[in-house]
């Protein structure tokens, strides 16, 4: 067991064996890693535990550099456990290098089908029993996809929870993948309009880049292909508090004059690569639509819902915009099948991703009947103009789950937990205590 001291915190490593398939506990085992973090000097205190479930899917827990970010507030009251959800970080990895060891695409997809919220919850329960004992209960903080996992936790194992805090992660309990994206495209369009109002010069800048890429796709530093459609995917930035500004500054340095005239700069291409490459979190792309897959809601599978629904919103067609005088719109948190052709980190996983997209036997992730009689207090921050999670879905879920109190705010974007210096978390903690 490794113990590390950083400014203001002490962290301890935990590694457990868990079944790949919790329905077959005696079968294949994988490893799941979690990092325990406590305020320096309080290591021996009997503090309540707070489990943190990261956004994603496919995102490892944040790596603290000391008492920073939301930990500033959390460590006042809790011993925090940062879970690397299965397949991520220091847990048994699932990526282009390891998945071929499983066999063909069908075997890889069968393996990855065990990496959704229901399995993550059961992994957490093994950790809880290991660290707190059978009767111990902990608090839960779920950010974004971590909030989706929280709803699964309340459905599958509420006896393990004292309270749940959710930031930007109340999923629609009965929302199909199609309905999720049908609601998402107008929200993304609104974020585009806000960006272009803020930086009107970017309308021409984006059109120039997209027009160039339409006829001459560029190579990114890893050999990936930057097409006009891939360029549009930078809109993922627009749902965060500073994303619009980051995008603008990236566009400012798009061009340089070389021997043959204007060309896209290395600085720009390196920046684009940093935002678009899935090398660091391939499961985000591979599993993204499956997080909405529920057999009773999507009996035919998700089938690349974002791509299919996009056809209903022709304003996102870059070629159509360029042939006219409309702004080129960026897309948002959408995964498209062509990404598995343009991104070298995803290319070897293309067939497995196709198998998952066509999979029909997804078990339901939520139990609406059990949630309707939930007894675990739930405090949820709902961001008024959240680009990633539909506010209407969140509020409907809050009505459907007993014991949920919501705080609807326009002060923060989806990344409020990360960037607010503990303010978002403090509000939820005070709500749980009845102070606000």
Q: Answer yes or no: do 213 and 351 share one domain.
A: yes
Query: Where among 303, 335, 358 does a domain terminate?
Result: 358
Q: Answer yes or no: do 256 and 203 share one domain.
A: yes
What confidence score (pLDDT) does residue 102 get? 96
The total of other beta-carbon atoms located within 10 Å of residue 282's CB is 26
Q: Answer yes or no: do 338 and 413 share one domain.
A: no
**For residue 403, which of 154, 142, 153 has the smallest C-alpha distance?**
154
What confidence score (pLDDT) does residue 320 get? 97
What confidence score (pLDDT) does residue 361 get? 86
Q: Answer yes or no: do 406 and 422 share one domain.
A: yes
Q: Whole-angstrom Cα distance, residue 338 to residue 341? A: 5
Q: Answer yes or no: do 236 and 307 share one domain.
A: yes
Q: How far apart, in Å, are the Cα atoms of 111 and each of 37, 114, 209, 339, 343?
A: 31, 6, 40, 21, 22
What confidence score (pLDDT) does residue 215 get? 95
What confidence score (pLDDT) does residue 127 get? 98
What confidence score (pLDDT) does residue 271 get? 98
Q: Can you read off the two tokens belonging to residue 299?
A: 């009996």
What's the domain count of the chain? 2
Q: Answer yes or no: do 291 and 269 share one domain.
A: yes
What confidence score (pLDDT) does residue 401 get? 98
What confidence score (pLDDT) does residue 213 get? 98
Per-residue pLDDT tens listing for the chain (436 residues): 799 999 999 999 999 999 999 999 999 999 999 999 999 999 999 999 999 999 999 999 999 999 999 999 999 999 999 999 999 999 999 999 999 999 999 999 999 999 999 999 999 999 999 999 999 999 999 999 999 999 999 999 999 999 999 999 999 999 999 999 999 999 999 999 999 999 999 999 999 999 999 999 999 999 999 999 999 999 999 999 999 999 999 999 999 999 999 999 999 999 999 999 999 999 999 999 999 999 999 999 999 999 999 999 999 999 999 999 999 999 999 999 999 999 999 999 999 999 999 999 899 999 999 999 999 999 999 999 999 999 999 999 999 999 999 999 999 999 999 999 999 999 999 999 999 9
Name the residue range of residue 191's domain. Answer: 177-358
Q: Answer yes or no: do 425 and 307 share one domain.
A: no
- The enclosing domain of 103 has a CATH number of 3.40.50.1820
Query: Where among 358, 389, 422 does a domain terminate?
Result: 358
Helices (H), 199-329: 202-215, 228-232, 243-252, 266-276, 282-287, 305-310, 318-323
What confidence score (pLDDT) does residue 1 get? 72
Q: Answer yes or no: do 169 and 304 share one domain.
A: no
Q: Answer yes or no: do 382 and 406 share one domain.
A: yes
What confidence score (pLDDT) does residue 100 get? 96
Q: Answer yes or no: do 316 and 183 share one domain.
A: yes
Query: Where among 292, 323, 358 does a domain terminate?
Result: 358
Q: Answer yes or no: do 87 and 187 share one domain.
A: no
Catalytic site residues? 144, 386, 414
Pairing, β 404-409 against β 378-383? parallel
Q: Answer yes or no: do 40 and 151 share one domain.
A: yes
């Amino acid at each position: 067991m490794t113990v590390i001291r950083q400014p203001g915190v002490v962290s301890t490593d935990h590694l457990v064996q868990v079944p790949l398939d919790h329905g077959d506990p005696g079968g294949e085992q994988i490893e799941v890693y979690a990092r325990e973090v406590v305020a320096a000097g309080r290591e021996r205190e009997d503090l309540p535990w707070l489990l943190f479930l990261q956004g994603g899917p496919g995102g490892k827990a944040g790596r603290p550099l000391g008492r920073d970010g939301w930990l500033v507030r959390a460590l006042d009251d809790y011993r925090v456990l940062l879970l690397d959800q299965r397949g991520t970080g220091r847990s048994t990895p699932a990526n282009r290098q390891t998945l071929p060891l499983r066999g063909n695409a069908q075997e890889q997809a069968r393996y990855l089908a065990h990496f959704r919220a229901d399995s993550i919850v059961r992994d957490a329960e093994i950790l809880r029993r290991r660290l707190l004992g059978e009767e111990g209960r902990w608090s839960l903080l779920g950010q974004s996809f971590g909030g989706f996992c929280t709803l699964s936790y309340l459905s599958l194992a509420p006896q393990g929870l004292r309270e749940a805090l959710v930031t930007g992660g109340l999923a629609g309990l009965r929302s199909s993948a199609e309905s999720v994206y049908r609601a998402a495209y107008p929200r993304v369009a609104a974020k585009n309009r806000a960006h272009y109002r803020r930086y009107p010069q970017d309308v021409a800048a984006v059109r120039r880049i997209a027009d160039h890429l339409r006829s001459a796709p560029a190579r990114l530093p890893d050999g990936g292909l930057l097409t006009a459609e891939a360029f549009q995917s930078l809109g993922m930035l627009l749902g965060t508090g500073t994303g619009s500004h980051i995008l603008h500054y990236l566009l400012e340095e798009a061009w340089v004059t070389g021997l043959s005239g204007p060309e896209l700069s290395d600085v720009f291409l390196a920046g684009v690569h940093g935002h678009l490459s899935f090398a660091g979190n391939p499961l985000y792309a591979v599993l993204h639509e499956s997080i909405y897959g529920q057999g009773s809601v999507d009996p035919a599978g998700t089938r690349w819902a974002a791509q299919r629904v996009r056809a209903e919103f022709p304003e996102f067609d870059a070629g159509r915009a360029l042939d006219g005088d409309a702004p080129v719109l960026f897309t948002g948190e959408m995964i498209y099948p062509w990404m598995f052709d343009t991104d070298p980190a995803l290319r070897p996983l293309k067939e497995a991703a196709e198998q998952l997209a066509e999979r029909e036997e997804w078990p339901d992730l939520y139990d609406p009947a059990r949630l309707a009689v939930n007894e675990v207090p739930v405090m949820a921050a709902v961001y008024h103009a959240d680009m990633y999670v539909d506010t209407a879905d969140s509020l409907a879920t809050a009505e459907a789950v007993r014991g949920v109190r919501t705080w609807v705010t326009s002060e923060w974007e989806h990344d409020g937990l990360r960037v607010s210096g503990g303010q978002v978390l403090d509000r939820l903690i005070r709500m749980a205590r009845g102070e606000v």
